[in-house]
Amino acid sequence: MINYQQAKSILKKAKIKIHNEKVLIKNSINRVVAKDIFSPSNHPLGDNAAFDGFAINALDTKNITKKKPKQFKIIGSIAAGNKPLSKKVKKFEAVEIMTGGIIPNAFNTIIPIEQIKFHPNKQNPKSIIIDKKFTKYNHVRFKGSDYKKNQLIVKKGTIIQSNHILALKTLGIKKIEVKKKLNILFFSTGNEISNSDTIPSWKVRNSNSHYIESLNNNFLFNFKNGGILRDHHQNIFKSQIQKMLKSKTDIIITSGAVSAGKFDYIPSVVKQFKTLDYFKSVMIRPGKPILFAKINQKVVFGLPGNPISSAACFRFFVYPFIENILELLPEKPVKAVLKNSFIKVKKFTRFIKSKLSTTKNGRLEVELLKGQESFRINSFIKSNVWAMLPNGQANFKKGQIIDCFLPNHSNKILD
C-alpha cells in the first residue's frame, strides 16, 4: 500500500495523448486554453472620452483666467460609435463629445458637462465659456491603455470563465484553441445497486453515477453512463476495457467491486491487461481500496462504492489526473484556521467533510464536521469544502492552518 503523495506521482507520470480543438468563444466556458491568447488589436482602439462633455485643446487655455475668460466655438458633436471628426480645427474651438466618443486629433482634454458654461444659453448654445487653464489629457481613455496589440490576454492552461469571455469578445476574438474534453465511461457495480427510487432494505440506490455526471462541466470531461455491472459480470467488464482500447473513450471509472471481497473483481480483471502504471490501495480515508491503471493510452479508475469514498476519490485522484492531462497548473489549496481538534492515524491522509466560514475580522476558519464515516451523506450536505489532513501527523490542534479544497470544482477559480 502506497501513500497519497506516491499515488499522485504515479498519476502525474501516467500521461495520455489528447488533441486540441477550436471552439467559438460562446462555447468556451470551463474549457482549458491550449495556447496563449494574444490581443489582435489595441484596446481602446482609439483615444476616447471618459465623460460626457466638451473636447478642447488644452494649449488654447494657457493664458485664460477668471478675469480673462474666452469663448470656444462649438463646431460639432461626437457620440460613441460616430466616425472620428475629420474637419480642420481652429484655435479656440470645441466639440461636444459623449462618453466613448473618439477624440479628434486636434483636441487633447475633456471638460465634463457639469463644468460647462454655455453662451448665449444652454438651450441654444453657440459656444462655451472657459475661465481657467486646463491641463492635457483630463478624462481621456488612451488608445491601447488597457491592452496593446499582441499583448498576452489569457495564458495557456487557464480555465475559461465568464470574465474571460467578456474580454475575448470585447477584443474581437471569435474562436480559441482549447484542449479536447476527456471522455469518461462510468459503471456502477454490484447486485445491490438499483436505479429505482423505491427500494427494499437490501438494495442501494445508484447515486454515485449521478453525482459524477453532475461534475462534467466543472471537471472538464464528457460523461457516459455505462450502467450497472452485476456480481457475475467479470467478462462484460473485460470486454468493455477491450472496447475502450479501440474507441474514443479515454477513461473507464467504476464504483464498487474494488476491495477484497468475493465479488470484488475489478482488480483481477484489470490485471489481465498489460498495465504501464498501476496502484491498488492507498493510505487514505475515505477511499483506501482505490485502483488506478494505465493500459496503452487509456486509463481505468476503480473507486470504492460508498458514496463519500467515491466522491473523495474522484476529487483527489481523478481530478488531479484530468488536471495533469489538460496541462493545468497545479491546484492551490485554500488555507484556513482549524476551529476544532482532530486525531487520525499518522501514516494516513484524511479527506474530511468540512465547513469553511469567515469571521467578522475576515479570517477564514474551517470546522471538521462530525459524521466522517463514508456512508454518511448528512455531513456531506452540510459541508462546503474538503479539508486535507496529510500523512506524517496524527494530532491536529485548534488554531492550526490546514489546506482546504472546494468539493465540486477546482480551486483554480480562486487563483
**SS3 for the chain, per residue?**
CECHHHHHHHHHHCCCCCCEEEEEHHHCCCCEECCCEECCCCECCCCEECCCEEEECHHHHCCCCCCCCEEEEEEEEECCCCCCCCCCCCCCEEEEECCCCECCCCCCEEEEHHHCEEECCCCCCCEEEECCCCCCCCCEECCCCCECCCCEEECCCCECCHHHHHHHHHCCCCEEEEECCEEEEEEEECCCEECCCCCCCCCEECCHHHHHHCCCCCCCEEEEEEEEECCCCHHHHHHHHHHHCCCCCCEEEEECCCCCCCCCCHHHHHCCCCCCEEEECECEECCCCCEEEEECCEEEEEECCCHHHHHHHHHHHHHHHHHHHCCCCCCCCEEEEECCCEECCCCCEEEEEEEEEECCCCCEEEEECCCCCCCCCHHHHHCCEEEEECCCCCEECCCCEEEEECCCCCHHHHC
Residue 91 has pLDDT above 90, yes or no: yes
Residue 415 has pLDDT above 80, yes or no: no
Confidence of residue 380 (pLDDT cuts 50, 70, 90): very high
State the average pLDDT over residues 90-118. Answer: 97
pLDDT of residue 261: 84
Question: In terms of domains, do 132 and 168 share one?
Answer: no
Of 300, 325, 350, the position where a domain reaches its end is 325
Question: In terms of domains, do 317 and 346 share one?
Answer: no
Q: Are 7 and 317 in contact (CB under 8 A)?
A: yes
Decide the pairing of beta strands 251-255 and 298-303.
parallel
State the average pLDDT over residues 59-82. Answer: 97
Question: In terms of domains, do 373 and 264 share one?
Answer: no
Question: In terms of domains, do 174 and 184 share one?
Answer: no
Closest CA to 110 of 87, 94, 88: 94
pLDDT of residue 228: 94
Q: Which tens digit of pLDDT belongs to each residue from 318-373?
A: 999 999 999 987 788 999 999 999 999 999 999 999 999 999 999 999 999 999 99
pLDDT of residue 247: 96
Confidence of residue 260 (pLDDT cuts 50, 70, 90): confident
Confidence of residue 412 (pLDDT cuts 50, 70, 90): low
What's 313's domain CATH number?
Answer: 3.40.980.10
Percent of the chain, pLDDT > 70? 98
pLDDT of residue 299: 98
pLDDT of residue 216: 82
Question: In terms of domains, do 290 and 375 share one?
Answer: no
Q: Quote the number of domains for the chain.
A: 4
Question: In terms of domains, do 63 and 29 share one?
Answer: no
Residue 24, C-alpha cell as written in the block: 467559438
Question: What backbone torsions phi and psi does residue 263 show, to the nearest 5 degrees?
Answer: -105, 15
pLDDT of residue 148: 98
Angle made by CA atoms 40, 42, 43, in degrees to the nearest 5: 115
Of 325, 359, 387, the position where a domain reaches its end is 325
pTM here is 0.87
Average pLDDT, the chain: 95
Question: In terms of domains, do 354 and 404 share one?
Answer: yes
Residue 38, C-alpha cell as written in the block: 494574444
Question: In terms of domains, do 185 and 294 share one?
Answer: yes
What's 338's domain CATH number?
Answer: 2.40.340.10
Residues spanned by the domain of 172: 25-43+146-178
In angstroms, rounded to a whole number, what is the distance separating the alpha carbons of residues 298 and 195? 28
Residue 316 has pLDDT above 70, yes or no: yes
388 sits in the region (left: phi over 0; alpha: psi -120 to 50; else beta) called: beta
State the average pLDDT over residues 148-169. Answer: 96
- 218 compared with 245, residue with greater pLDDT: 245
pLDDT of residue 329: 79
Question: In terms of domains, do 112 and 195 share one?
Answer: no
Question: In terms of domains, do 294 and 216 share one?
Answer: yes
